[in-house]
Amino acid sequence: MNRITKLQNILQQHFRCNKARIKLISSFIVSLIRVKTIKLTDISLDINHRVKNCSNYRRIQRFFSEFVMDYDVISRFVITQLPKDKKYILTLDRTNWQFGKKDINILMLGIVYRDTSIPLYWKLLNKRGNSSIEERKELVEKAINLLGLQRIKSLVADREFASAKWFKYLIESKLEFHIRIRKDAVITKYKSPIKTVRSLFKYTKAYSYIVLPYKKMVYNNELYISGRRTNKGEYFILASNNNPGDALGDYKQRWTIENLFGYLKTKGFDFEKTHMTDPIKIKKLIALLTIAFLWSYLVGIWIDDSIKIKLKINGRKEISIFRKGLDYLRSVIFDLNLKSKEFNFLIKFLSCT
């Protein structure tokens, strides 16, 4: 049984499509890990050496043009690989770049696991700037339906996602959140401006993080406020609807989605090198990237738990869990004739058994 068939058998349990499509998806994922780039020209060279490169390229193009993907299947697949007795922090952020004159703008909702976020739901935005409330709601509601509120600890996001309507929606959804807000956000009472949130930290000791005891009316919602200031006049302020004591600890996990974007881009699969501009095709590409990323990351966790990745002086790992897993997977895939047993073992990380 070759490398593609083994992965194909696992994915067949999740994807409702014919064997030809499953085989292509499996081949694409293995080649994606092997060549470590999303360039279709490079993947077509690796995907099936028994077929001419031009034929492979046309098959890949037809897949992205014609295949109708069920993205809920991808999200459920991600969840099945994670511990079931755990509450998860969700991260919300955007990543964007330009290809020629075309803006590639992706709204991503991730689920935090260890030191990264894993893609859960995503949406291509047909514009350059920030997302709308409706676009965010679409992703969050899908996550709530998938996980249930009981498995979501909180949602964290940066200042870009601070607004009255968004906070109101999250409160009504009973979803706990800790979102950074702007220092000039106005505190109101009886519809009359009183002060900005930075004034609450004006006389606190620099770098001393405090949680204010009572809710304040900010962005037209009653919210808990916590934060700190620095000697340079900078402010770090969070708004929460519940459990403000958890705000700082939960919000620190927001950086995991920055890790994810780095892993998908320059530190992993060169996502920004894609020449795709069609949102539908890019959305499919992210789905395949998610599987390749998840597999690499799970292998990296196994390595870290087994031998412990060395730490640098600053306490950070010399090499990330993801990169360790990706490098090891690639080394096995490059030499399957001699490392078939290792590959058989690694494929089990996606088997949910």
Dump pLDDT digits (tens) for 335-344: 877 788 888 8
C-alpha span between 119 and 260 (Å, rounded): 8
308: alpha, beta or left? (left if phi > 0; alpha if psi -120 to 50): left
Range of the domain at 186: 180-240
Residue 183 three-state SS: coil
C-alpha span between 232 and 222 (Å, rounded): 29
Q: Are strands 177-181 and 152-157 parallel, antiparallel or unpaired?
A: parallel
C-alpha span between 130 and 163 (Å, rounded): 12
pTM for the full predicted model: 0.92
Q: Does residue 20 sit within a domain?
A: yes
Domain boundary among 201, 221, 240: 240
CB distance 198 to 218 below 8 Å:
no
CA dihedral in degrees (244, 250, 255, 258; nearest 10)?
Answer: -100
Q: Does residue 37 sit within a domain?
A: yes
User: 230 or 53, which is more confident?
Assistant: 230
Q: Does residue 109 sit within a domain?
A: no
CB distance 131 to 125 below 8 Å:
yes
E strand or H helix at 241, and its extent?
none
Residue 35 three-state SS: helix
pLDDT at 315 over 70: no
Output the pLDDT for position 1.
43
pLDDT at 222 over 90: yes
Dump pLDDT digits (tens) for 289-305: 999 999 999 999 999 88
Dump pLDDT digits (tens) for 35-94: 999 988 888 888 876 677 788 889 899 989 988 889 999 999 999 999 998 999 999 999
pLDDT bucket at 313, cuts 50 / 70 / 90: low
pLDDT at 314 over 60: no
pLDDT bucket at 190, cuts 50 / 70 / 90: low
CB distance 33 to 326 below 8 Å:
yes
pLDDT bucket at 193, cuts 50 / 70 / 90: low
- % of residues, the chain, pLDDT over 70: 93
Q: Does residue 297 sit within a domain?
A: yes
C-alpha span between 201 and 185 (Å, rounded): 13
Kindly state the tokens that stand for 228: 């700190």
DSSP H helices, 252-278, are 255-264
Sequence-separated (6 or more) residues with CB below 8 Å from residue 186:
193, 194, 195, 196, 218
Q: Does residue 251 sit within a domain?
A: no
Read off the pLDDT of each residue in 141-149 and give the average, rounded to a whole number: 97
Q: 166 forms bridges with which residues in the sheet?
A: none
Q: Are strands 152-157 and 88-99 parallel, antiparallel or unpaired?
A: parallel
Q: How many domains does the chain have?
A: 2
Q: Does residue 95 sit within a domain?
A: no
Kindly state the tokens that stand for 82: 């994670």
Burial class (CB in 10 A: 0-12, 13-18, 19+), 184: exposed
Q: 211 forms bridges with which residues in the sheet?
A: 226
CB atoms inside a 10 Å sphere around CB 152? 20
Output the pLDDT for position 326.
95
User: 105 or 233, which is more confident?
Assistant: 105
Q: 68 forms bridges with which residues in the sheet?
A: none
Output the pLDDT for position 182.
95
pLDDT at 124 over 90: yes
Domain boundary among 225, 240, 255: 240
pLDDT at 226 over 90: yes
Q: Does residue 250 sit within a domain?
A: no
Domain boundary among 206, 221, 240: 240
Output the pLDDT for position 251.
97
Kindly state the tokens that stand for 283: 């959305």
- % of residues, the chain, pLDDT over 90: 58
Residue 205 three-state SS: coil
Mean of per-residue pLDDT scores for the chain: 89
Q: Does residue 157 sit within a domain?
A: no
Dump pLDDT digits (tens) for 146-178: 999 999 999 999 999 999 999 999 999 999 999
Q: 118 forms bridges with which residues in the sheet?
A: 111
Sequence-separated (6 or more) residues with CB below 8 Å from residue 188:
194, 217, 218, 220
Output the pLDDT for position 49.
64
Read off the pLDDT of each residue in 119-136 and give the average, rounded to a whole number: 94
> Phi then psi for 26, rounded to 5 degrees?
-65, -45
